[in-house]
Structure 1
């Protein structure tokens, strides 16, 4: 199957990441594995591979399988108990995948990740290189969060987010988020008969004002449609076309990708033959995706603290074409305990006067970056000029607090 690659417009194979949720793997009532769903997914992955594509599978289900193995009915709330169930279920889940893929002579590999694994640049690049080698060997990597050792501060929180991180790491062309509905709707289709499908999304931020996505995931899963929108936002920022479609009909993936060759333009805005394509929601990849390092800073790193900056600093680091580094002179205060080279969030505190004459603060997120000084050092040098840093600290490791190469600006409107 030859089709236009969404990144290049050329007719060539693609790298595809498929995220399979717990509800597509385990029965919500009995926790028994849904072998028919899994078999169809395995057949689909192998078919995609035979057509020349590289495929990564991001899976949930370890906790559900663990519940079944220990004959428990409900997922516990205690973190250590959940981690124990994941430890029981993870091996059995991989054995199930290996049994199914082995029937079609397809080798697989297990990759367990936590956000902590990606916080170090070297470890991040090692993971990227491992993915690259596995894919070049014709192996299907099967990715899951390492629930056995993750703690609340460093967990991805749901495998939708993990799949988006993975898609960015492997420079994927497509991310498929398989769920229990055909696509994203304007409201919950189970309770509102007047809902309408959302077929194409160009701006995830604008979409949040148009649809209702407050319903949670299944009793076994951690996600819902909210986490899928977050994942779509992350993946499209990395240049990955993201698609939501029904998990019980995985062969739809093949039809969707095949018909993407029939789009009117390289931006995948419309299809020539929409009647041939199963219902789904497609999130268009950004035309100017973030470079790998900045995407890693924004999405791969745990945020260690917050640095509050003044209006002058906001204008300096957001001005188009002249984006500056962040200097100590523009820093108002910092919160949290963080060390040098850790990631921090940048916040501008804008004040509004209400009808009672009271000043009400509005916190505006400006960006995220890697600091050259610790929280203790920044508290001492905030508001200072660069040539005053050595006098304050007794040394000056850098003239700026965050260099522009290590700074990701996410504030779209410089007028706030």
Structure 2
């Protein structure tokens, strides 16, 4: 038996979620499969009933769904989620069709159409891909379609994968400028310790990092999924950083969560959203390299929010092209920012420590540019 504390907390956030006009919902593999590993049509039906209720009420719904690899296990006679990438890709290729077919049939009962959107990390970390993915998702929503999003497991490699769909869901919520993010699994809330432990208390609301100081969480124990409560907390942090409130609960309580009832754990977010471009740099971009700065450059960039010039750079590592994201590193090794670089890694070493005036005189006007403009730089 578990205890609960502060049950009235987060009422305003729950109302924001209940009234959200554009909502992203993520569901894990373990909530979609039965004991035999097959897709559970009843579980899928209950989830879709809850989502369709919001859709019929005029809300736009994006469903980020795990389950492709899980759905491919039994057809391939695999007893559990494979460890090697090639077999994971094969299971995803077999299972993705079955997963989307189940959603198509279930949403069809409510008169709703679904559209499959498969993403790799590059689709939300490279700016040109990011803009294209956003355009596709928003157009589907305007056409009244429910996008069903998943990582493209059949082609993703270890180097370019999200690792879990919780992070993907948070980035999709940021991508489409959602009003709320709901993360569903087989655990009904965040607790201050293992939920099975006697006396474990549900945490109904998280207002900031201090509320998590004494929380003990662990990874996934599922044979078909990869995400645990740790990944959900991180996803909620990404969402709330974008001004998007988040809620963590079980798939069985989806209708109650979407209706604003006191279930699960809500993560409060500020009502005013930060600039979207800088949020993308912080959370959705992957650094392709590192620029090592001297103390003066760190002060200019961090304290005075100035652009980064080549005179303040003492080292370059990694391989990157113009327009890629790179990390800015202080002399003590601390990463202080991330920005979009105006020069490739092959050009920069010869420019270090030099003024833009001298570079322009010697190499041409295009070299009078800053290495990273302050509008393309996010502090971390």
Q: Helix, strand or coil for the counterpart of 1:298?
A: helix
Q: Alpha-carbon deviation of 1:395?
A: 6.6
Deviations 1:321-348 (A, max 9, x none): x411111122221221112111111222
Q: Alpha-carbon deviation of 1:218?
A: 1.5
Larger proportion of helix: 2
- Give the unaligned 5+ runs of structure 2: 1-10
1:238 to 242, 245, 248: 242
Q: TM-score when scaled to structure 1? A: 0.83
Does 2:318 match 1:336? Answer: yes
Q: Give the structure 2 partner of residue 306 of structure 1.
A: 290
Q: Using the alignment, how far apart are the partners of 1:317 and 1:290 within structure 2?
A: 19
1:375 to 345, 363, 376: 345
Q: Is the 8 A contact 2:180 2:244 kept in 1?
A: yes
State the structure with bigger RCO (CA 8 A, min sep 6), 1 or 2: 2
Q: Give the structure 1 partner of residue 280 of structure 2.
A: 296
Does 2:329 match 1:347? Answer: yes
Q: Alpha-carbon deviation of 1:106?
A: 1.2
Q: Is the 8 A contact 2:122 2:129 kept in 1?
A: no
Is the alpha carbon distance of 1:12 and 1:212 closer, same or farther for their aligned partners in structure 2, counting shifts above 3 Å? closer
Q: Using the alignment, how far apart are the partners of 1:196 and 1:326 within structure 2?
A: 48
Q: Alpha-carbon deviation of 1:234?
A: 1.0
Q: Is the 8 A contact 2:20 2:180 kept in 1?
A: no
Is the alpha carbon distance of 1:125 and 1:110 closer, same or farther for their aligned partners in structure 2, counting shifts above 3 Å? same
Q: Using the alignment, how far apart are the partners of 1:162 and 1:13 within structure 2?
A: 20
- Give the unaligned 5+ runs of structure 1: 257-276, 351-362, 411-416
Q: Alpha-carbon deviation of 1:134?
A: 1.4
Q: Helix, strand or coil for the counterpart of 2:262?
A: coil
Q: Give the structure 2 partner of residue 112 of structure 1.
A: 118
Q: Is the 8 A contact 2:126 2:324 kept in 1?
A: no
Deviations 1:207-237 (A, max 9, x none): 5532112333412111111111111111111
Q: Using the alignment, how far apart are the partners of 1:207 and 1:110 within structure 2?
A: 37
Q: Using the alignment, how far apart are the partners of 2:363 and 2:199 within structure 1?
A: 64
Q: Using the alignment, how far apart are the partners of 1:18 and 1:181 within structure 2?
A: 15
Q: Using the alignment, how far apart are the partners of 2:105 and 2:240 within structure 1?
A: 34
Q: Is the 8 A contact 1:389 1:396 kept in 2?
A: no
Q: Give the structure 2 partner of residue 278 of structure 1.
A: 262
Deviations 1:284-319 (A, max 9, x none): 113443322222223333320111222222222222
Deviations 1:104-158 (A, max 9, x none): 2211111111121234433322221222221122211110011111112221111
1:195 to 188, 191, 200: 200
1:258-277 matches, cutoff 5 A: 277=261
Q: Give the structure 2 partner of residue 125 of structure 1.
A: 131
Is the alpha carbon distance of 1:12 and 1:43 closer, same or farther for their aligned partners in structure 2, counting shifts above 3 Å? closer
Q: Give the structure 1 partner of residue 48 of structure 2.
A: 42
Q: How many residues align?
A: 370
Q: Is the 8 A contact 1:326 1:403 kept in 2?
A: yes
Q: Give the structure 2 partner of residue 164 of structure 1.
A: 170
Q: Using the alignment, how far apart are the partners of 2:262 and 2:20 within structure 1?
A: 21
Q: Is the 8 A contact 2:307 2:373 kept in 1?
A: yes
Q: TM-score when scaled to structure 2? A: 0.90
Q: Using the alignment, how far apart are the partners of 1:323 and 1:288 within structure 2?
A: 21
Q: Alpha-carbon deviation of 1:37?
A: 1.7
1:15-94 matches, cutoff 5 A: 15-27=22-34, 29-94=35-100
Q: Using the alignment, how far apart are the partners of 2:92 and 2:293 within structure 1?
A: 42
Q: Is the 8 A contact 2:66 2:150 kept in 1?
A: yes
Deviations 1:340-392 (A, max 9, x none): 11111122232xxxxxxxxxxxx322121111112232222222222233467
Q: Using the alignment, how far apart are the partners of 1:216 and 1:395 within structure 2?
A: 54
Q: Is the 8 A contact 1:188 1:215 kept in 2?
A: no
Q: Using the alignment, how far apart are the partners of 1:233 and 1:389 within structure 2?
A: 42
Q: Alpha-carbon deviation of 1:13?
A: 5.2
Q: Is the 8 A contact 1:5 1:12 kept in 2?
A: no
Q: Give the structure 1 partner of residue 373 of structure 2.
A: 403
